[in-house]
Amino acid sequence: MRFVFKILLISGLSYLMQSYFPWWSMAIVAFVIGAAVKTFGLRSFLSGFLGIGLLWAIMAWNIDSLTNSILTIKMATLFKLEQPFLMIVLTGLVGALVGGMAALSGAHFRLMFSRKKRGEYYS
């Protein structure tokens, strides 16, 4: 349950932050939530990965549908992609990797300042 809560929290706050601040503000949100909500290892990475990746893919798809795919087609041509839809997937993947690394960094930042038993880092 904490995992789903973390995904929703990262997505929601990142959406709000990106409305007013630059794109990289979502990495700060994922870092802070990764440090605040207690998860470790792969779960921490996946929460940031899914939270930001889904958010960016949905936002890219929404912009694509509102603009009749004009920018998506031009960018797909520039990247030599056969399907313009792959630009939406690529956009989501870039955001997902940044979000996942930021959430994992936040979790490890919290671990630096806490006392843990041996072997608890990967549970």
Measured between alpha carbons, how far is 7 from 50 in angstroms, rounded to an integer? 7
The whole-angstrom separation of Cα 103 and Cα 36 is 10
Q: Where are the domains of the chain?
A: 2-115
pLDDT tens for the chain, 123 residues long, are: 888 999 999 999 999 999 999 999 999 999 999 999 988 889 999 999 999 999 999 999 999 999 998 989 999 999 998 898 999 999 999 999 999 999 999 999 998 887 666 555 555
Cα-to-chain-centroid distance, residue 103: 8
Structure tokens at 123: 């549970």
Q: Which two tokens stand for residue 5?
A: 């809560």
- Cβ atoms < 10 Å from Cβ of 65: 10
What is the model's pTM?
A: 0.86
Helical ranges in the chain per DSSP H: 2-20, 25-36, 41-66, 70-78, 85-112
